[in-house]
Amino acid sequence: MNKLALHEPQRQAPLGVAIMFFQNLRRAINFVLAVLVVNLGNDFEILGMGFKGWGIILSIFFLIYSFLQYRKFYFYVSGDNFVIEKGVLRQDKINVPFARIQTVNTKQNIIQRALKLVGLKIDTAGSIAQEIQIPALSKTYAGELRSFLMQKRYEHQEENEEEVEEVDRTEEHKEPLLKLSVGDLFKVGFTQNHLRSGLLLFAIVNGYIWQFEDYLIKPFEPYLEETAKNLLTTWVLLLPFAIAVFIVLSVISSLVTTILRYYGFSFYLTKAGLEIESGLFNRNSYNVPFEKIQYFKWESNPLRRIIGYRTLKVKQAGNQAVNERKLIGIPGLKSRALLRVIQSQYPNRKGSTYTYFAPHRLMFIQRFIWLGLIPSLGFAAVFYFNQLDYLFYLPLPVFLLIIGFLTYRYWRSIVLRVNANFIEIRRGYVFPKRIVIPNYKLQNISQSQSFLQAFRGLRTLHLHTAAGSLRVSHLPKKAISELHDYLCYCIESSNEKWM
Amino acid sequence: MLLQNLNVDVEELPRLEERDFTLLERDYLYYRITGKVLFLLALSGIGASISLFGKLYFGYWLYPILGLLALILLLELVGFKHRGYSIRDKDVSFRSGWLFHRMTTVPLNRVQHCEFNQGILGRLFDLATVKVFTAGGTSSDLDIRGLRKKDAIKVRDYITKLSALYE
């Protein structure tokens, strides 16, 4: 406390002016980017001043504004609150009660790294809409402030709970459970879901291109039309080429995103929770207190299975949109490390015998009809009406066989198992996933039945947690009603805090 | 008995059964039908004005709407029996639907908050809805519909009181 001197308002590190300046600049550039691109090369004139003149004036204005922003940004402790005051034109005062603090994370983007500064971000329980961030602190100060805040948070939360556990919260120096070397990074990158990253890249590129469609494509239009005609005749030749380009681009994009996100990734298991640090340009560190974790999910894909890597996802409480942002993935875990994490969290996971449930074959039939039969009938109809050669029909049985095989394996892969403390769901053949939820983390339970299920006495179980809903369909009615009552009993009789 | 080896015998648990569910007020059926009929009337109004002022054969909209009306009446009449709510010591449940049935149970120690509301049509029929919110997301929140206003207030107060015990 003495070192932090939080009893009186503190400013950020002096270089914070630069951080604020770049923040403002980035916002401004985003704003005028379209105008700049369109007018690229040709100067313009407003009120007798050109590109350079306006640029200088705006820069000076931003510099002054950033300086004021820096001067007006304070943080201090008042009573049981951490307070941030900021704003030049409109003064904002953000009060964060210590007890409401969930986690304190540090962030570093490329500018902050260059200036050796760290941004501190405070996550709170409940919906304080504003983002609570202190963008520019010196590294040591940020570390101290963070441990100070976390310390306060524990003190206040323990005051509220009667049984104060004597846990040693002092800095234990910890061995990372997982550290990704550059080699690991390449392995993780090469085994990403390339199709997804390819499509993502395509979507991004597509989104940007159409913004500037008029300027980029219009001039070439007559030329394009002509080539399009030629292309149509040679599409058979070009298709494999296009596919190859797509694959190469996808792999490169997966590699780049992996390296950007996971460079220097280290993952720690501490007494209070999980800690993760990663990122090449934007260096982020997260920590997740144990009680905030709603459930664990781990998944793999065909490429990763070869090298035995799995991705662990830690699902935290929060609404879906926030969740996507906060979702923490830990790639490249070997099964032993994975088991160690799960074991440390849920020591009695194998405490009692599991009862297993598997879906009825109606699920296979329905999926096969929707994914296999209906599309192939559609194609057959199209071929028929276009009076195409019978050769076109040949791939259809092959397609049906593949879909049949995949849906069969998918259906067989789904297993729900329940014991006295945990629910585990396993599903997926190509992309196997597993989910472990402690029973008391459930929020509420539903069951549903469509008329098709009603004929066979089947139902679907929906499990709602604070980190999203899960469902298992086509289980026998009797099993569902037992599970429903049992899980309700588990929730109602548990005194453990779900958050 | 399918579940085995738990620290409790499933047969000894309080089972949620058919008889636990209370049927909703009969007025709720009429309320639903009125709402849907009003919607169909609006549709027929559009159809009729096109037929009167433009060129559209009456049958083209009248028969589909009559068919829809018959279907709605059938679904609502049969479906009404399948709606109901159950309030027990430690949880609240609501179920609905005939072709697509759904039942949700919210344990009271997971209730975030609970509110009561009444729409315009609800005021005509003296019906209200109690909404129970949990942290499980919007798809899982529980609405107990078709209660008399005074019952709804009672239910809300009961749920609020009991769920406050767990704070």
Q: Can you tell me whether residue A445 is helix, strand or coil?
A: strand
In this predicted complex, what is the ipTM? 0.90
Distance from CA of A285 to the nearest CA of B (A): 26
pLDDT of residue A367: 95
Q: Which of A420, A444, A479 sits opposite B107 (nearest CB)?
A: A444
Within an 8 Å CB–CB cutoff, is residue A489 touching chain B?
yes
Instruction: State pLDDT tens for residues A280-294.
Output: 877 777 778 888 888
Beta-carbon contacts of A104 under 8 Å, excluding residues fewer than 6 positions away, are: A120, A121, A122, A123, A145, A146, A149, A150, A287
Structure-model confidence comparison of residues A427 and A345, the more confident one: A427
Q: What is the dihedral of CA B49, B53, B54, B56, to 10 degrees?
A: 50
Where does the pLDDT of residue A136 fall: very low under 50, low under 70, confident under 90, or very high at 90 and above?
confident
> Do B120 and B142 sit in the same domain of this protein?
yes
Decide if B19 is inside a domain: no
> Do B67 and B97 sit in the same domain of this protein?
no
Decide if B11 is inside a domain: no
Mean pLDDT for A241-265 is 87
Q: Which of A466, A478, A491 sits opposite B2 (nearest CB)?
A: A478
Please choose, from the candidates B109, B119, B144, the residue with its C-alpha nearest in 3D space to the C-alpha of residue B129: B144
Structure-model confidence comparison of residues B42 and A468, the more confident one: B42
pLDDT of residue A16: 82
> Do B90 and B142 sit in the same domain of this protein?
yes
pLDDT of residue A162: 43
Whether residue A427 is predicted with pLDDT greater than 70 in this model: the reply is yes
Where does the pLDDT of residue A1 fall: very low under 50, low under 70, confident under 90, or very high at 90 and above?
very low
Within an 8 Å CB–CB cutoff, is residue A399 touching chain B?
no
Whether residue A273 is predicted with pLDDT greater than 50 in this model: the reply is yes
Taking CB atoms and an 8 Å limit, are A352 and B7 in contact across chains? yes
Residue A124 pairs in a beta bridge with A101
> Do B63 and B108 sit in the same domain of this protein?
no
Mean pLDDT for A299-304 is 89
Domain end among B79, B100, B124: B79
Per DSSP, chain B holds a count of helices (H) and strands (E) of 4, 6
Separation of CA A425 from chain center: 21
Q: Can you tell me whether residue A268 is helix, strand or coil?
A: strand
Tell me the count of A-B CB pairs closer than 8 A.
Answer: 116
Whether residue A441 is predicted with pLDDT greater than 80 in this model: the reply is yes
Judging contacts by C-beta atoms under 8 Å, the chain B residues touching residue A445 are 104-105
Decide if B129 is inside a domain: yes
Judging contacts by C-beta atoms under 8 Å, the chain B residues touching residue A468 are 137
Taking CB atoms and an 8 Å limit, are B8 and A445 in contact across chains? no
Domain end among B37, B61, B79: B79
> Do B129 and B60 sit in the same domain of this protein?
no
Within an 8 Å CB–CB cutoff, is residue A181 touching chain B?
no
Judging contacts by C-beta atoms under 8 Å, the chain A residues touching residue B140 are 443-444, 446, 462, 464, 469
Decide if B100 is inside a domain: yes
Low-confidence ranges of chain B (pLDDT < 70): 1, 4-6, 167
Beta-carbon contacts of A16 under 8 Å, excluding residues fewer than 6 positions away, are: A70, A73, A117, A135, A136
pLDDT of residue A344: 83
Class of the A16-160 domain? mainly beta
Per-residue DSSP letters for A359-386? --THHHHHHHIIIIIHHHHHHHHHHHHT
pLDDT of residue A177: 79
Q: Where are the domains of chain A?
A: 16-160, 187-262, 266-359+414-493, 362-411
Question: Residue A37 has which token pair?
Answer: 């691109």
| CB-count exposure of residue A449 (10 Å: 0-12, 13-18, 19+) | buried
Where does the pLDDT of residue A167 fall: very low under 50, low under 70, confident under 90, or very high at 90 and above?
very low
- Cα angle B52, B55, B59 (rounded to 5 degrees) comes to 75
Judging contacts by C-beta atoms under 8 Å, the chain B residues touching residue A464 are 134, 136-137, 139-140
Residue type, B113: H
Q: Where are the alpha helices (DSSP H) in chain B?
A: 26-53, 58-80, 120-125, 149-164
Q: Best mutation site among A446, A462, A486, A498 for testing chain B: the one with the most B CBs within 10 Å?
A: A446
Per-residue DSSP letters for A321-358? HHHHHH-EEEEEE-HHHHHHHHHHH-TTTTSS--EEE-
Least confident of A127-131, A146-150, A349-353, B34-38: A127-131
Taking CB atoms and an 8 Å limit, are B3 and A486 in contact across chains? yes
Taking CB atoms and an 8 Å limit, are A485 and B140 in contact across chains? no
Taking CB atoms and an 8 Å limit, are B5 and A419 in contact across chains? yes
Instruction: State pLDDT tens for residues B2-35.
Output: 776 667 777 778 888 888 899 999 999 999 999 9
Q: Where are the alpha helices (DSSP H) in A47-178?
A: 51-71, 110-114, 139-160
Decide if B5 is inside a domain: no
Distance from CA of A484 to the nearest CA of B (A): 8
Mean pLDDT for A105-114 is 82
State the residue for tokens 């034109």.
A89
Domain end among B79, B94, B112: B79
What Å distances lie between residue A375 and A10, A378, A388, A420, B85, CA to CA? 65, 5, 17, 43, 41
Distance from CA of B44 to the nearest CA of A (A): 31
Q: Where are the alpha helices (DSSP H) in A191-334?
A: 194-211, 213-216, 221-233, 235-262, 302-307, 320-326
Structure-model confidence comparison of residues B1 and A129, the more confident one: B1
> Do B71 and B103 sit in the same domain of this protein?
no
Where does the pLDDT of residue A86 fall: very low under 50, low under 70, confident under 90, or very high at 90 and above?
confident
Q: Which of A447, A450, A482 sits opposite B103 (nearest CB)?
A: A447
Whether residue A159 is predicted with pLDDT greater than 70 in this model: the reply is no
Distance from CA of A486 to the nearest CA of B (A): 7
Taking CB atoms and an 8 Å limit, are A484 and B140 in contact across chains? no
Distance from CA of A296 to the nearest CA of B (A): 16
Taking CB atoms and an 8 Å limit, are A485 and B91 in contact across chains? no
Mean pLDDT for A84-92 is 81
Instruction: State pLDDT tens for residues A348-383.
Output: 888 888 999 999 999 999 999 999 999 999 999 998
Judging contacts by C-beta atoms under 8 Å, the chain B residues touching residue A499 are 135
Judging contacts by C-beta atoms under 8 Å, the chain A residues touching residue B8 are 486, 489
Taking CB atoms and an 8 Å limit, are B91 and A462 in contact across chains? no
Residue type, A102: Q
| Beta strand A273-278 pairing with A101-108 | unpaired
> Do B71 and B141 sit in the same domain of this protein?
no
Residue type, A258: T
Residue A27, H or E segment: helix A16-38
Q: Best mutation site among A444, A472, A482, A499 for testing chain B: the one with the most B CBs within 10 Å?
A: A444
Q: What residue numbers bound the domain in which B116 lies?
A: 82-164
Number of residues written out for chain A: 499
Please choose, from the candidates B33, B47, B121, B137, the residue with its C-alpha nearest in 3D space to the C-alpha of residue A315: B137
Instruction: State pLDDT tens for residues A176-208.
Output: 778 888 888 888 888 888 888 888 888 777 766
Question: Residue A121 has which token pair?
Answer: 């971000």
Q: Which of A418, A449, A466 sits opposite B3 (nearest CB)?
A: A418
Decide if B14 is inside a domain: no
> Do B100 and B138 sit in the same domain of this protein?
yes
Structure-model confidence comparison of residues A399 and A51, the more confident one: A399
Question: Residue A201 has which token pair?
Answer: 């890249």
Q: What is the CATH number of the domain that holds B151?
A: 2.30.29.30
Whether residue A164 is predicted with pLDDT greater than 50 in this model: the reply is no
Whether residue A264 is predicted with pLDDT greater than 80 in this model: the reply is yes
Chain A segment 343-382 residues within 8 A of B by beta carbon are 352-353, 355, 357
- Residue A159 to residue A474: CA distance in whole angstroms: 46
Distance from CA of A461 to the nearest CA of B (A): 10
Separation of CA B133 from chain center: 15
Question: Residue B31 has which token pair?
Answer: 């309320």
What is the number of structural domains in chain B? 2
Q: Which long-range contacts (CB under 8 A, 24 or more apart) does B2-5 make?
A: B2/A355, B2/A357, B2/A478, B2/A479, B2/A482, B3/A355, B3/A418, B3/A482, B3/A483, B3/A486, B4/A353, B4/A355, B5/A352, B5/A353, B5/A355, B5/A419, B5/A420
Decide if B32 is inside a domain: yes
Q: Which of B5, B8, B134 sits opposite A443 (nearest CB)?
A: B134
pLDDT of residue A165: 43
pLDDT of residue A479: 92
Q: Is A387 left (phi over 0), alpha (psi -120 to 50) or beta?
A: left
Mean pLDDT for A384-408 is 90
Q: Can you tell me whether residue A20 is helix, strand or coil?
A: helix
Q: Compare all CA atoms of chain B with the CA of A449 and give the residue at the minimum distance.
A: B101
Least confident of A123-137, A343-357, A408-422, B65-79: A123-137
- Residue A152 to residue B77: CA distance in whole angstroms: 59
Instruction: State pLDDT tens for residues A18-76.
Output: 888 888 888 777 777 766 666 665 666 666 666 677 778 888 888 888 888 888 888 88
> Do B41 and B111 sit in the same domain of this protein?
no
Q: Compare all CA atoms of chain A with the CA of B134 and give the residue at the minimum distance.
A: A443
Find out whether A406 and A429 touch, Cβ atoms under 8 Å: yes
pLDDT of residue A280: 81
- Report the percent of chain A where pLDDT is more than 70: 82
Judging contacts by C-beta atoms under 8 Å, the chain B residues touching residue A356 are none
Decide if B58 is inside a domain: yes
